[in-house]
Amino acid sequence: MLMGDAGVAVVDPAGVLQVNPASYTGLRTTVFETGARMRYASLRNDVQDTYSRNTRWLGFSLGVPFGNGRCGWAMGLQPVTEVSYRLIDREVLPDGGGDVEYLYRGEGGLNRAYMGLGWAVYQQKDSLKLGNGSRLSIGANFNYLFGHVDRFRETIYPRGSGYNNHRYLSTLSLSDPVFNFGVHYQTDLVKRREKGDEGLKLVVGATAELPATLNVSRSDLAYSFVVGANGVETIRDTLIDQRKVPGTLGLPMQVGLGATIYNVRWTWTFEMRTRDWSGTALNVEGYRFPEKLGRSSSYALGASWRPMGAREGGNFLQRSIWRAGFRWTEDYLVVKEKQLTDFGMAFGTSLPLLGSLTRSRLNFGAVFGRRGSAGTGTIQENYVDILIGLTFTPSKFEPWLQKRRIN
């Protein structure tokens, strides 16, 4: 995420990049990762400004190399989408009996559990026979998407007005497997002539997430109620009660292309991903998309720098990894015939933990972004994401999940 969310053509020896399972062949140690995000946002339209903040766990991943560096396995759990809003509107009753309050609230989201394998089908040592020169890797992930979106609407009248309050709850649940595939081709741009040379490598990557049809179920409950003088709610009438009405949601194919130039000190990467949502079909009785959908496209440019390169020693900051990135996205939502855009800039660092013994690191970063534009009936969101993460690897003298040669 700190490199503009790029990952299609990136190789990380101590990190899991789910977007392209071919990258698992680049793992050089068993690694466990987890993290969290804190978002501070301001929402602005042509009338007013509001502010929000929330915290979100970013899931976890576990990666394991095997097969003498030719294979890698990974699994994990991560959020995919998030719904979180709360809006209140008020209106004066015609008879002057006070204000009626309208409350709109939504929460939930979609999650991804995945397990994947990467395999280097072709591998050739570099000119010094010390590392990989050219390598062709392929990979695949089995993903299970699951989650739900809850929407609430309430109409609350003043006590003693003689009106019944109303509450409506709607839950849309989704689940089904999805498969994604990836390929990496790595080669030398500048070959190493001596052991101390850094050289320069090129990685070209491509990914594809296959189209799928997700199983969907919808549940609705609507009822009227009154609130007594002691604050206790009493239901007057049940208006709607539908449980688990089945349906389907078509998920379109996503493709991504990327290229990375790197050595032991520097990494530069660029990528694009696209998915056409315009023909997406939601076949659920009584349910429709709130807005028109279009083709989503995202472009990312990222870089990282480790001052010490592959050398040992140096001070704490020289052994840290410094990252920056830029991302521009054309969102799938089309509001008032205008497609939303989202762009952000990210900065961060990975600080070594027991750097002489492990590749473990503590990750910090920030993303500054803007989504949409303020206007008549539209909202602009300016946000700042604070990211905290942990990458944990075993000691060099205590490798995990490796067969002991001598008992």
Residues 144 and 177: beta-carbon distance below 8 Å: yes
Domain that holds residue 388: 21-70+110-143+178-211+253-392
Task: Say what the pLDDT of residue 314 is.
Answer: 66
In a domain, 228, yes or no: no
Report in angstroms the alpha-carbon separations of 3 from 11, 267, 271, 287, 311.
13, 10, 11, 38, 23
- Considering the domain boundaries, does residue 9 fall inside one? no
368 sits in which H/E element: strand 361-371
Can you give the pLDDT of all 407 residues of the chain as single tens digits? Answer: 667 789 999 999 989 999 999 999 999 899 999 999 999 999 887 777 888 888 999 999 999 999 988 999 999 999 998 888 888 888 888 777 788 999 999 999 999 999 999 999 998 876 566 556 789 999 999 999 999 999 999 999 988 778 899 999 999 999 999 999 999 999 988 887 777 677 889 999 999 999 999 999 999 999 999 988 787 888 999 999 998 889 999 999 999 999 999 998 999 999 999 999 888 888 888 777 767 888 999 999 999 998 887 666 667 788 899 999 999 999 888 887 888 899 999 999 999 987 667 788 999 999 999 998 877 667 889 999 999 999 999 866 555 555 555 54
Q: What is the DSSP string of 221-276?
A: EEEEEEE-TTS-EEEEEEEEEEEEEEEEEEE--EEEEEEEEE-SSEEEEEEEEEEE
What is the pLDDT at residue 202? Answer: 95
Residues 6+ apart with CB under 8 A from 253: 208, 209, 210, 211, 275, 276
**Total length of the chain:** 407
Helix (H, G, I), strand (E, B) or coil at 179: strand
Rg (CA), the chain: 25
> Contacts for 379-382 with beta carbons within 8 Å, 24 or more apart?
379/43, 379/44, 379/45, 380/43, 380/44, 380/45, 381/41, 381/42, 381/43, 381/44, 382/41, 382/42, 382/44
CB neighbour list of residue 45: distance below 8 Å, 6 or more residues apart: 374, 375, 377, 378, 379, 380
What is the DSSP code string of 58-97? Answer: EEEEEEEEETTTTEEEEEEEEE---EEEEEEEEEE-TTSS
Residue 315 structure tokens? 């001070």
Q: Would you tell me how many other CB atoms lie within 10 Å of the CB of residue 291?
A: 12
Residue 98: predicted pLDDT = 82
Between the CA atoms of 44, 37, 108 and 90, what dihedral angle is there, to the nearest 10 degrees?
Answer: -30
What are the backbone angles phi and psi of residue 292, rounded to the nearest 5°? -70, 145
In a domain, 229, yes or no: no
Q: Which residues pair with 100 in a beta bridge?
A: 91
Predicted pLDDT at 404? 55
| Spatial separation of the C-alpha atoms in residues 264 and 301, rounded to whole Å | 19
Report if residue 162 sits inside a domain: no
End-to-end Cα spacing for the chain: 42
**Euclidean distance between CA atoms 90 and 392, whole angstroms:** 51
Q: Is residue 287 part of a domain?
A: yes
Specify the number of domains making up the chain.
Answer: 1
Can you read off the two tokens belonging to residue 397? 């003298």
Residue type, 260: T
Q: Check residue 85 and give its pLDDT.
A: 84
Q: What is the CATH number of the domain that holds 300?
A: 2.40.160
Q: Is 15 in a helix, a strand, or coil?
A: coil
Residue 54 lies in a domain: yes
Residue 4 lies in a domain: no
Residue 237 included in any domain: no
Q: Count of CB atoms within 10 A of residue 165's CB? A: 19
pLDDT of residue 266: 92
Tokens of residue 64, six digits: 């394991």
